[in-house]
Structure 1
């Protein structure tokens, strides 16, 4: 993992910090998206009682290189992620994968982040750069994955992440 971030307000980007504390069933301490029920403003408006499947947001740093080749400048936490990874194909993980982070944190992958207009407001044209089309015409969302917290603890840049796949059949990630 190359960085960790949080933000107590509902701002698009987060602030890179030295370490974050993650609480079981809630998310990142001091982050606006932590909680048992959904905190994403548009989802709260639709149904504030739905479970929070977006407690911790992870993005792969390789995305930054990909969009840089298209003329964009994106750094860790700019797109609102709590954890920036490197060397893990997050988008290829099946739903239910557990990510063992650092000494004690365990995150269960719930689905894909659905990139929204805030990405376009951050840098015009970036929204289309984090979307793609598969050969069959389906939309590929590249702006990271979401997870819930099974076990908490402290994590910091440099901590290892171990991938624990669920039992087959593997379910593809869908937007959450």
Structure 2
């Protein structure tokens, strides 16, 4: 029997706004530094209230409104690089007891008074390397196969640390976050992704290009 302590839940809500940091002799604007906050925080539109992104061309927007990363994946990384706290990878929600890599695009999370929907995996940019103080970390993160999940906001509401996550699985056929991030899809999977309007346009365009090459 599953106890409440083993159910999917939010361990931490993490917010941050853009700041300038010096990296390799240049000033870079980034909002990857996120800090845990207390109390219920409203999530609406394309963000948590009090959170922001530095460059909306590649970060944020409806299909990247909320980024989640699992404490179990942090444990895996910590064994390699040392202790890492919530928000280190720039996530808004640090979660427990939910396999984000196995999550399907279209899975819905009823959490707090909000409803979120898994939208896509993360493709890390160079700013993750800045956050980790290691230019090679962006590639290491991609190769690690633990991308975390971006979620869109289906219904606005309040979320706080300790909230349980009630999962409503995506209708089939669906593609997992890990499979989409891997790029190693079968023809049948590529066709399914191309036809799935829950998958963001950028991924579907890339899939259509891959189908045209095969």
Task: Please tell me the TM-score bracket, short chain as reference.
Answer: 0.7 to 0.9
1:53 Cα deviation from its structure 2 partner: 0.8
Residues 118 and 150 in structure 2, CA contact (< 8 A), matched pair in contact too: yes
Instruction: Specify which of 44, 58, 65 is matched with residue 43 of structure 1.
Output: 58
Counterpart position of 1:111: 120
1:111 Cα deviation from its structure 2 partner: 0.5
166-175 or 14-23: which moved more?
A: 166-175
**In 2: Cα distance, 1:78 partner to 1:171 partner:** 27
Instruction: Report SS of the residue matched to 2:80.
Output: coil
Counterpart position of 2:78: 68
Q: Give the gaps of 5 or more residues in structure 1.
A: 34-38, 45-49, 134-139
Q: Give the gaps of 5 or more residues in structure 2.
A: 1-9, 19-29, 182-199, 201-214
Instruction: Specify which of 18, 33, 49 is matched with residue 13 of structure 1.
Output: 33
Instruction: Specify which of 119, 138, 153 is matched with residue 127 of structure 1.
Output: 138
Corresponding pairs, count: 157
Q: Describe the shift of the 1:114–1:107 C-alpha distance in structure 2 as closer, same or farther (beyond 3 A).
A: same
Which stretches of structure 1, 4 residues or longer, exceed 6 Å deviation after superposition? Answer: none
1:82 aligns with 2:92: yes
**In 1: Cα distance, 2:105 partner to 2:169 partner:** 9
Cα distance per residue 1:129-157 (max 9 Å; x no partner):
42337xxxxxx3x2311011111211111
1:55 Cα deviation from its structure 2 partner: 0.4
74-83 or 2-11: which moved more?
A: 2-11
1:152 aligns with 2:156: yes
Q: Which has the higher contact order (CA 8 A, sep 6+)?
A: 1
